[in-house]
Structure 1
């Protein structure tokens, strides 16, 4: 979890947060691990839902929160899967291996809420999106990751 800040994206409205999620969905490839961090209510699920709907090219796709199932998977139209995990309820870090997420890394796009409950070594390749609440509904999304791994990402998702 010791990544450089790559860029920061202000999102004054939920629509702007969704727009950023859609742009990111359009440029991330299979093998991307997206770690969504931020306080309860920061908008991690909102972001994930918009990302998944964009990736599925289905604006009304049912995207339930994986709070109780821990993991939901979706088939992308162009192949591969999206894994959406919420690790909030994991009590033992070892339990994360039973979910099989690590086996999905190379062949899927993984969105992980509460990633602080995943093993440290999983972070090396992750793109961390830290969602901060600024007040009045505005958010700031701080994008962190390995500068080499994610080189050029900011240019691809410019508004």
Structure 2
């Protein structure tokens, strides 16, 4: 596991961009962390790093937002997903292997995540702006840390 610390939303977006530069195009990125931890800011940077010009927003009510870049980006919000039926209704399984999937509230679908998913746990740091990213599935060298 690797740890990265950001001190602003801008730095969180930059971390997302750095990770995006190493993606091949079929990864599942599972985000774990509570409200206000920066999941959408991270996704904004990741999408930008993959060449998406779209405005990135949380897909809370849509369940999935799609962005066009050098590879398709599918941004899921699993906050309201509480059962396998709910998960199937999102179309999640149809999106696997079609682009980069980034999933907010992955703790709600832990049993459905691919074994090789990049797992990122985000927590609050020493102050309100600082975030700690614990990342499994990528090394410091992979993203130039």
Q: TM-score by structure 1 length?
A: 0.82
- Give secondary structure in 2 for the equivalent of 1:112: strand
Summarize deviations over 1:83-111 as a string: whole Å, max 9, x none. 00001012323211122222222121000
Secondary structure of the residue aligned to 1:125 is coil
Cα gap change, 1:96 to 1:121, in 2 (>3 Å): closer
**Structure richer in strand, relative to its length:** 1
1:89 corresponds to 2:80: yes
Shift of 1:33: 0.4
- Report what 1:140 is aligned to: 132
TM-score by length of 2: 0.89
Residue 20 (str. 1) matches residue 12 (str. 2): no
* Structure 1 residue 57, shift from structure 2 partner: 4.8
Do the aligned partners of 1:93 and 1:119 also contact (CA within 8 Å) in 2? no
* Cα distance, 1:53 vs structure 2: 2.2
The 5 A counterparts of 1:102-121 are: 102-118=93-109, 120-121=111-112
SS at match of 1:40: coil
Q: Check 1:138–1:119 CA distance in 2 against 1; reply closer, same or farther (3 A cut).
A: closer
Structure 2 contact 77–105 (Cα < 8 Å) conserved: yes
SS at match of 1:8: strand
CA distance, structure 1, for counterparts of residue 78 and residue 58 of structure 2? 11
Show structure 1 runs of 4+ deviating over 6 A: none
Partner of residue 122 from structure 2, selected from 115, 131, 135:
131
1:158 aligns with 2:141: no
Query: Quick one: distance in 2 between partners of 1:102 and 1:38?
Result: 22
Partners of 1:43 and 1:92 in 2: CA distance: 25
* Cα separation, 1, equivalents of 2:87 and 2:100: 17
